[in-house]
Structure 1
Amino acid sequence: MKKCIQFMLVAMVCGSQVKAQFFKNDEAFAHTFSIVARDPQTGEMAVGVQSHWFSVGTAVPWGEAGVGVVATQSFVNKSYGPLGLQLMKNGVTATDALQQLLDKDAGKEVRQVAMIDAKGNVNAYTGKNCIDYANHIVGNNYSVQSNMMLNNTVCKAMAAAYEKNNDKPLAERVLAALQAAQQAGGDIRGKQSAAILVVAGQATAQPWNDKKIDLRVDDHITPLVELARLLKLYRAYEHMDAGDLASEKNDMPLAMKEYGTAMSMFPKNLEMQYWTAITLANNKKIKEAAAILQKIYKQDNNWRLLTQRLPKVGLLNTSADDYQLLIK
């Protein structure tokens, strides 16, 4: 496959007097559509992408909190990601960072790249030898770009959807743009993988927490449907975390509200049901906890075994009699 791609590249670029040596064996063949965006209210920055290529999330999206995000696609040169971020980290705007990298790339005519920095500067580039239909639209705090599309309406659909959904959180806005792209025709080859990456607007002393969302669907018949499910699941677990925090503060009404919201989003999720029950038990709501646990045990008895292990590590604190009610 790569040999065929290399041959095609020679044919594509000879007319523009670009040497074929720019193409390396480790460069992905990720023709796709994507969006880079920044939320001016929160400062968060995101990349969203879908492609008919395996595991596109490992090649196209790059980001660093407080710095910026990059989408590098078409005949992917992954170095645009880390090098672009380093330039922006050093104070170079996204506009200048992209231009500096393009100036050094002999294969720029088959690249498609977009960058946005933490101040909202945004730039995009579509090489003249990207496969039709290929273009990009730069808007206010975002850019949408696509290549090898079925038709020439994909970018317009993405931009319109992103702007229309400005009342949603950044990740959901990005997802809406990707869904609009697919509805407009999408990749001429179909679909296989998708990803959403969201980083914080400002870096903290805890960089391990600065990546807010990192969801990838590597191989799926409907990757955006699965990506939407994962994003919804992520939001549900945010409610679980909020419930845990409220429980730690002894605010049980708020804790149960948050747990209830999570479970309403995924009513068949035993994990959510289980830890809600354990929280109830630790707050002396034994009857309510036992009722939930009995339903869980009927579906999978391993949860009963887990309950028996919790007292040893201090995660279940009840009287002996109450404990027996919880494991029966």
Structure 2
Amino acid sequence: MDLTYSIVARCSQTGQLGVAVQSHWFGAGVVCWAKAGVGAVATQAMALIDHGPLGIELMEEGESAENALRKRLSLDDAPEIRQVAMVDSAAGVAVHTGSQTIPEAGHIVGDGFSCQANMMWNSTVWYAMHDAFINAQGDLAHRMLASLHAAEEQGGDIRGMQAARILVVGPEQLSKPWMETITDIRVDDHPNPLTELSRLLEIQNAYSNLSKYQEGDAIESELSSEIPEIAFWRSVDLVNKGRHEEARELVKVALDEHPGWEELLIRCAKNNLAGISEETVRTLLER
């Protein structure tokens, strides 16, 4: 059983595909399925998880979201208790809310996305999700997160909250499939999973920005001075760019958090790894 609210969507700007969910059910993220360049699925209510991976399989074979959903439901012996939504790589959307799903239950389809919910306090939930997604700023993950927050603001699940997930994949399949997932953050058991999901998403963005910065893009995260791992590697980069005072100030975040960071500097310097030389260590540890 997974009675919940969710959104499936395709970003019109990037072609990314995504699905996000929140439910009072441990590990509710299992309802989320997506494949780069293919589509995304949410399968919920008295959920038949088969509709997720097998719906993706049908879309990968060339079926539209509409046809994939129709075929899946034709094989379901209890479609009246299911709620399933699919979006394909061409922004086609299909959604089904069974006649016997627990109220309040319903869905709304937008341009390249669908919001659906069941066992809600109020029938305004999916409409609020729709509007929040349209009006939100940022990338697909953040807009879907805004949609989830809007659902909760309307009362959400009558049982409360427990688990949530955001899954975003790229617009096309790659020769290295393990690089197709852009975001996959899940909270399996938490008193406020949306707050935790928001926190984890910002941390992921901080790490992503660190990678971009190291590749030469001028992107710095506000969390650079809060997350020891990011502060450590940014300080190494700053030293190598001659910005010594900034580097020493930033590395303190890591050094004050755990003694192992200083040891890591020393060990890396022995083999001149990760841009860390003996001179780097002396500069960073200079008092």
Q: Same fold (TM over 0.5)?
A: yes
Q: Distance in 2 between matches of 1:207 and 1:322?
A: 37
Does the Cα contact within 8 Å between 1:194 and 1:224 map onto a contact in 2? yes
Does the Cα contact within 8 Å between 1:199 and 1:213 map onto a contact in 2? yes
* Residue 321 of structure 1, CA deviation: 5.5
Report the counterpart of residue 130 of structure 1 in structure 2.
101
Identity of aligned residues (%): 40
Q: Deviation per CA, 1:64-107, whole angstroms, max 9, x where unpaired?
A: 00100000001111110111111111111100110111011101
Counterparts of 1:1-328 in structure 2, within 5 Å, are: 29-57=1-29, 59-165=30-136, 167-246=137-216, 257-258=218-219, 261-262=220-221, 264-265=222-223, 267-294=225-252, 296-313=254-271, 314-318=273-277, 320=278, 323-327=281-285
Does the Cα contact within 8 Å between 1:307 and 1:327 map onto a contact in 2? no
Q: Deviation per CA, 1:179-198, whole angstroms, max 9, x where unpaired?
A: 00000010000000100000
Q: Which moved more, 1:201-210 or 1:186-195?
A: 201-210
Query: What's the secondary structure of 1:208's corresponding residue?
Result: helix
- Largest Rg, 1 or 2: 1
Structure 2: unaligned runs, 5 residues or longer: none
Report the counterpart of residue 22 of structure 1 in structure 2.
none
Q: Distance in 2 between matches of 1:272 and 1:89?
A: 38
Q: Distance in 2 between matches of 1:323 and 1:48?
A: 44
Q: Which amino acid aligns with 2:84?
A: V
* Residue 306 of structure 1, CA deviation: 0.9
Query: What's the secondary structure of 2:119's corresponding residue?
Result: coil
Q: Distance in 2 between matches of 1:50 and 1:141?
A: 20
Q: Which amino acid aligns with 2:83?
A: Q
* Residue 234 of structure 1, CA deviation: 1.5
Does the Cα contact within 8 Å between 1:36 and 1:47 map onto a contact in 2? yes
Q: Which amino acid aligns with 2:33?
A: W
Residues 159 and 321 (structure 1 numbering): CA distance in 2 closer, same or farther, change over 3 Å?
closer
Q: Distance in 2 between matches of 1:31 and 1:322?
A: 54
Q: Which moved more, 1:66-75 or 1:273-282?
A: 273-282
Q: Distance in 1 between matches of 2:57 and 2:251?
A: 51
Structure 1: unaligned runs, 5 residues or longer: 1-28, 247-253
Q: Which amino acid aligns with 1:114?
A: A
Count of matched residue positions in the alignment of Structure 1 and Structure 2: 285
Report the counterpart of residue 24 of structure 1 in structure 2.
none
Q: Distance in 1 between matches of 2:84 and 2:166?
A: 16
Aligned-residue CA RMSD in angstroms? 1.7
* Residue 202 of structure 1, CA deviation: 1.1
Q: Deviation per CA, 1:218-272, whole angstroms, max 9, x where unpaired?
A: 11111111111111111111210111101xxxxxxx5xx52xx31x235321111
Query: What's the secondary structure of 1:239's corresponding residue?
Result: helix
Q: Deviation per CA, 1:127-177, whole angstroms, max 9, x where unpaired?
A: 111101111111210111000001111011111111122x42111111111
Query: What's the secondary structure of 1:271's corresponding residue?
Result: helix
Query: What's the secondary structure of 1:310's corresponding residue?
Result: helix
* Residue 311 of structure 1, CA deviation: 1.7
Q: Distance in 2 between matches of 1:38 and 1:316?
A: 39
Q: Which amino acid aligns with 1:190?
A: G
Does the Cα contact within 8 Å between 1:110 and 1:130 map onto a contact in 2? yes
